[in-house]
Amino acid sequence: MPDIHIRPAQPADLTTITEIYRDAVLHGTATYEIDPPDQAEMTRRFHAITTDGFPYIVAELDGAVIGYAYASYFRSRPAYWWSVEDSIYIAPEAKGRGLGKRLLGQLIKDCTALGFRQFIAVIGDGHDDSASVRLHTSAGFSHSGTIRASGFKHGRWLDTVLMQLEMNGGAATLPEKPPLRGDTF
C-alpha cells in the first residue's frame, strides 16, 4: 500500500481505534470479546499498555488511521516478563493489502530493541488458512500449539492457535534483567 505511515498511536487516535476494534468484535472471530468496549475502556487499555512502555502503533493512509497494533506482556507473572504478545487490527476497508505485515514487522523491531526473548501470537479462530496464521508464519513465527474449541462465538466453536518467534537469542542465553523492568530476577 503506497503512502502508508506507521507511527506511535496517540490519544487522538482512540476514536478510530475503538471503531476498528468494535467491527472486529461484532463481525470477526480474531478476538473472543463479545461486547465491544466503549472509548473510555479502550482509552484505559491504551494507557495501561503505553504507560508500561510497550509499543502501540497505528498505520495511516492519507492521514486516516486504518489499522493499529500493540504489544504487551504475554502474561503478567514475573517469570513471563521476557515474553511479549501482539495484537493487530485492520479496518475492514484496508484488509488484504499487506498492512498487517507492516504493523507486525514494526512490532518485532520495537520488541527486539526492548530486549524481549519470545514473541507470542495467541490467534483466535486459528486455522492454517486464517489471515493471522499466514501473517505470523510469513514473519518467521512457528506453530506452538492449538487449543481446540477454546472459544464460542457467532454460533460456532473456535480454536486458538499459539505461535512463537524467538528474539535476542531466545532461550540460548540467560537474561541480565527483564525488559521494561528495573529489577533483576
Give me the pLDDT at residue 184, please.
54
pLDDT beneath 70: ranges in the chain:
1-2, 182-185
From residue 46, alpha-carbon distances to 33, 122, 141 in Å are: 17, 19, 25
**What residues have CB less than 8 Å from 54, skipping those under 6 apart?**
70, 71, 72, 73, 84, 180
pLDDT digits (tens, 9 = 90+) for 118-153: 999 999 999 888 999 999 999 999 999 999 999 999
Burial of 171 (0-12, 13-18, 19+ CB in 10 A): exposed
pTM of the model: 0.95
Give me the pLDDT at residue 2, please.
66
**What residues have CB less than 8 Å from 110, skipping those under 6 apart?**
55, 57, 71
User: What angle do the packed helices 14-27 and 39-51 form, to 10 degrees?
Assistant: 110
Give me the pLDDT at residue 177, please.
86
